[in-house]
Amino acid sequence: MSMSIRNQFPGTVTAVTVGEAMASVKVRLAGGQDITAAITTDAVKDLGLAEGLAVKALVKSTEVALATGPVEGISIRNQIAGTVADVTTGGAMGSVKVTVEGGELTAAITKDAVEALGLASGSSVVALIKSTEVSLAAA
């Protein structure tokens, strides 16, 4: 199935912690990074998620924030370091492609943020992704 979601990362489930309504699923991405997805317990059951299962982690580009370095004192668990590969800006928004270990991700951020952070090809960045914004699909 083709999807409009630009950020699709292959990985392997490393842990599943199930609660009453929600679950936390840790995934080791192909590049070696760990990412956490907060999904419903029904989704865990429907997908048959268990340690060792191959999955795809999906994140819309509008749900990726960028920082110029690691961020402490924040609840966002998913912080993936990378290097800006390309920046395209329009009147209000920008699309930033970031090379990370094992692939590339795209962040859609405001043009003002691109300028304020001084983002350009070669800039070091950290992609910030809330666990509630990570979806999982069976690989």
User: Kind of pairing, strands 54-59 and 93-100?
Assistant: unpaired
- pLDDT (tens digit, 9 = 90+) per residue, 2-24? 889 989 999 999 999 999 999 99
The string of pLDDT tens digits covering residues 25-35 is: 999 999 999 99
**What CA–CA distance (Å, rounded) separates 70 from 104?**
18
Report pTM: 0.94
Alpha helices in 2-120 (DSSP H): 41-47, 111-117
pLDDT tens per residue across span 66-103: 999 999 999 998 999 999 999 999 999 999 999 999 99
Instruction: Please say if the pLDDT value at position 1 is more than 70.
Output: no
